[in-house]
Amino acid sequence: MSSIQNVDAAGTSGAAPLVCAGLEKEFTEGPAVVRVLCGIDLTIGRGERIAIIGASGAGKTTLLQLLGGLDTPTRGSVSVLGRNLAEIGQAERGRVRNESIGFVYQFHHLLPEFTALENVAMPLLLRRLSLEDVRARARLLLDKVGLGDRLEHKPGELSGGERQRVAVARALVTQPAVVLADEPTGNLDHRTGDRVFDLMLELNAETGTSLVVVTHDSARARSMDRVLHMEDGRLQDVTGAALS
């Protein structure tokens, strides 16, 4: 099986894939101001695997949205490969997301009218690559996740685990600096979830892409390099601690 070529996503600058400093997020609900994130500092190293755990509503998804440039913080900054997202325009932020960040969600969010190959190829179509190259790279990723014989199947013709593997391939096809995964196995049975999670760790090791995973599964969290617990809008490093 062909291997995925590792790309030095950090370039020559050696900048960390993702850094946030003093990150805060507030929402207004009527007369009340709800503070969801409270001054979070976090540096994600190249190839590092980080699990974020915590109760529902603790702010984990909000944090991932800010790290991925899908939302803007009330205060603080997010930098991707040394570039502060607040200091670049919307179009450039979109380019940075496309080139440097991959997303995997609890629900696959595949486009139902397109095949597995077309779904995985979609992020590459925003670049000036030949259609032949785009299809070749998408085919390589799908082969890597064990779906080389399902290229022309649409999402409705795939199982839940297969659809999520397509989503993982889509997140990695651009060879991003970091993949942000929000409960990527939460909609799967435990056995299928283990397979998808193990696949993400395997691809992380092969490509050097950093991996940040929000999960409620303590066993999966313990397999990561660092475990961060979110509570009351703050992160605490609980790596090595007993997890319930």
Give the DSSP per-residue string, 126-146.
Answer: GSS--HHHHHHHHHHHHHHTT
Among candidate residues 237, 11, 68, 110, the one with its CA nearest the CA of residue 224: 237
Query: Contact at 8 Å (CB) between 39 and 24?
Result: yes
In which residue are the tokens 């080389």 written?
148
| pTM of full prediction above 0.95 | no
The predicted pLDDT at position 234 comes to: 92
In which residue are the tokens 């997301």 written?
97
Is residue 39 helix, strand or coil? strand
Among candidate residues 35, 28, 126, 23, the one with its CA nearest the CA of residue 78: 23
Q: Which CATH number fits domain 45-72+87-237: 3.40.50.300, 3.30.1700.10, 3.10.129.10, 3.50.50.60?
A: 3.40.50.300
Query: Contact at 8 Å (CB) between 236 and 229?
Result: yes
For 134-184, the pLDDT digits (tens) are 999 899 889 888 888 999 999 999 998 899 889 988 888 888 999 999 988
Query: Contact at 8 Å (CB) between 200 and 181?
Result: yes
Mean pLDDT of 46-67: 91
The predicted pLDDT at position 229 comes to: 95
Among candidate residues 104, 97, 120, the one with its CA nearest the CA of residue 215: 104
In this predicted structure, the answer to whether residue 189 has a pLDDT above a threshold of 80 is yes
Tokens of 167: 């989503």
